[in-house]
Amino acid sequence: MKAVVFERFGDPAEVLQVREVPKPEPGPGQVRVRMLASPIGPADFLTVRGEYGYQPKLPATPGTEGVGIVEAGRGLLGGMRVGRRVAVLNETGGNWQEKVVVSALRVVPISKHVPDDQAVTFFVNPATAFIMTRLVLKVPPRAWLLQTAAGSALGRMVIRLGRHFVFRTINVVRRHEQAEELLRTRGPCLDGPSRCRG
């Protein structure tokens, strides 16, 4: 099976390689997940550069989040998840490969109504959006929150949290198509002075 591997820390463009590696087998309380997608996030690049708080033993495979299908499991919890589509949190990295083994406690079943492009960031972005809006900024009900990069996964989660906690968002995006989509599906959007609704 294929995996993205780095043998030394450095610029991702220089040190990341695609390699054939053995298929991992789950141990007790673990599951093997056939990965469908894994995002590329800042923490992944910082890890590859050796600049993150945690440095993996080399050689290593990056990727902390992802979505996939449980292929095999050992133990009560692991066996119950076989065949399920799950979000995968691999706190030490490793999701940038075709199949990954993690603790069964590090996978969460995902509804069929949640598309892969949202499930892939199930852990980090929702926590970031919640902590930022509820604990750091403490956005009160009926207040307005101006955010840039509103078309990103994180930005869309902030919009959804606003609906849930009754604060409103003004959403700045880079491209006209993103503005139109947010206007159609999510409410107020700002794309220059003439494009605000809400």
* DSSP 8-class letter at 54: S
* End-to-end Cα, the chain, rounded Å: 50
Upper half-sphere CA count for residue 50 (Cβ side, 13 Å): 10
The token duo for 70 is 């449980």
Q: Which are the catalytic amino acids?
A: 52
| Run of H or E residues at 31 | strand 30-37
CB 159 within 8 A of CB 150: yes
